Amino acid sequence: MSVSELSSRLKRTVEDAFGNVRVRGEISGFKRHASGHCYFTLKDEAANIDAVIWRGSAANLQFRPEDGIEVIALGKLTTYPGRSKYQIVVERLELAGQGALMQLLDQRRRALAAEGLFDQERKRALPFAPKVIGVVTSPTGAVIRDILHRLGDRFPTHVVVWPVAVQGEGAAEQVAAAVRGFGAIEPGGPVARPDLIIVARGGGSIEDLWAFNEEVVVRAVAESPIPTISAVGHETDTTLCDFAADMRAPTPTAAAELAVPVRADLLAQIRQMGLRAERSASRTADRAGERLEALLRHWPAREELLAPQQQRLDDLAERLPRGLRGRLDRARADLGRAGGALRPGLLTQRLERASERLASLARMRELVDPSRPLTLGFARVEDRDGQTLTSAAAARAAGRLKLVFADGPLPASVDGALERPTPKRHKPERGEQGSLL
């Protein structure tokens, strides 16, 4: 036989003998290939066997396989001729009892709690009356109908549903993506950003609810910027999503009750508060009126309060005419005295004296006028700045002079040359003396 023939006979023999097996072991080296197939090893204390889950079967898994989990694999044995190996092709994978699953759940809860994801300090208060509520759940089934019905009865609110698978392969990733997607919505965009998120699912076994125990879901809920309510399963069901959420609801219907108040109760409360406000205002007004009346009884009458002022006003009214007449008589007397002092002869005499004094001052002004001597042939010597020079030393110091005559100024200098364009000067002969002016 050829190697291929031998491998084929071995393959048929193994598959015929072990066409339906149920194997218990611990998962080791689990790896999900990009193709969707899963490869791992099942082992116990003494042996191990390779295992593979084809993509179609992997999509129906009820939980995410992890290393260290004890499982029961149902499938058939086959060989892989390319490597001379035998392996089990797993068609269904179950956890090896509730004890193993609860142990895994407890280990994961402890690890996430150690990171602080379940701390009470992280919990946020829910909005009192959210305008928009985002619901992460399956679009079909009783859960979404129960939530919408309860919201409609209590407080009609705008609801945005993000449809997801709540069980099976890929459910955890869809739930986590929905929670993060709601948080990423920008306010004021085409899709309303929720004020509150409800993560909901109906009841089921621990395997059915396992997607809400996955780490990816727990972290998405814990990191959500929007307050969240976890409503997974029935009252007795508990998932790690419940610990991470800001509020846990025992059922999806209870989540709707926690999310919004009762509109009818609010209206009744508002009416009651309005009545209380009216009664309070009425009592306040009545008490103020009573206090005002009590004060008025102790106050004197208006006539008594104003009597002194009215009497003083009457006195002033009587004194005013007499005062005006006395003031008018004094003014007339002052006018008479002033009129006697203003006789025409006296005014004429004063005018003549003032005219004589003015003429005397005019003559004196003419005598002291510095320009008067200039009309008699004198000249005034000034420097370039117009300051009058009264000595030869001052003229020599100034150098450049100005002679002021009656008909105008004339520039000059101390050497006798006039400051005007002239022909070339005559140089005097030895012994000849030039002019000083």
Structure confidence by residue, pLDDT tens digits, 85-121: 889 999 988 877 656 677 778 888 899 999 999 999 9
pLDDT for 95 equals 76
pTM, full prediction: 0.49
d(C-alpha 21, C-alpha 44), whole Å: 16
Q: Which of 239-243, 303-307, 348-352 has the lowest mean pLDDT?
A: 303-307
The 10s digit of each residue's pLDDT in 198-231 is 999 988 877 788 899 999 999 999 999 999 999 9
Distance CA 419, CA 397 (A): 17
CA distance 290 to 185: 60
Residues with Cβ within 8 Å of 150's Cβ and at least 6 positions away in sequence, in order, are: 253, 256, 257
**Are 126 and 258 a contacting pair, CB within 8 Å?**
yes
Q: Quick one: what percent of the chain has pLDDT higher than 90?
A: 34
pLDDT band at 418 (very low <50, low <70, confident <90, very high): very low
Does domain 3-96 match CATH 3.40.640.10? no
* Sheet strand arrangement including 380-383: 380-383, 400-405, 408-413
Q: Is the pLDDT of residue 290 over 90?
A: no
> Domain 131-260: what homologous superfamily?
Hypothetical protein af1403; domain 2 (3.40.50.10550)
Which residue would you say has higher pLDDT here, 309 or 151?
A: 151
When pLDDT is averaged across residues 76-85 and rounded to a whole number, the result is: 85
**Taking the domains of the chain in order of start, what are their residue ranges?**
3-96, 131-260, 268-304, 373-413
- pLDDT-derived band at 305, boundaries 50, 70, 90: confident
Sign of CA dihedral 82, 88, 91, 94: negative
- CA-wise closest residue to 128 among 227, 268, 243, 251: 227
| Signed CA dihedral, 360, 363, 367, 371: sign only | positive
Q: At what angle do helices 98-114 and 215-222 cross, to 10 degrees?
A: 30
The span from the CA of 382 to the CA of 203, in Å, is: 125
Query: Do 3-96 and 131-260 fold alike per CATH?
Result: no
Phi, psi of 412 (to 5 degrees): -155, 170
- Give backbone dihedrals phi and psi of 195, rounded to 5 degrees, phi first: -90, -15
